Amino acid sequence: MLSLFWLCEQGVHPNIKGEVWEFLLGCYDPKSTTEQRNQLRQQRMFCFISLFICILLSSSHLSPFSSHYSFTFHYDA
């Protein structure tokens, strides 16, 4: 608990702030490896892109367009 108090008082260095938040929000097991975290990040990005494309294609102004094209995305972490 002391480290959490220290974080609230002192803050986190900007270079690692994004990764620290992912731990504090429970996205990762504290004992996870860098490899495991990278895999989870890739999975989340793929889900986000897939959801974004589904929403984009289901919007009314793109509906006729969506039946003629298919999209494939490749994400490299």
Work out the pLDDT band at 71, boundaries 50, 70, 90.
low
Q: Distance between CA 32 and CA 44 in Å, rounded? A: 16
Q: Distance between CA 26 and CA 54 in Å, rounded? A: 27
Residue 16 pLDDT exceeds 80: yes
Summarised one tens digit per residue, pLDDT across range 22-62 is 888 888 998 999 999 999 999 999 999 999 888 887 765 55
Report how far Cα 19 is from the mean position of its chain's Cα atoms.
11
Each domain of the chain, given as residue ranges in start order, spans: 1-31, 33-77
- The predicted model gives 10-18 an average pLDDT of 80
pLDDT of residue 48: 92
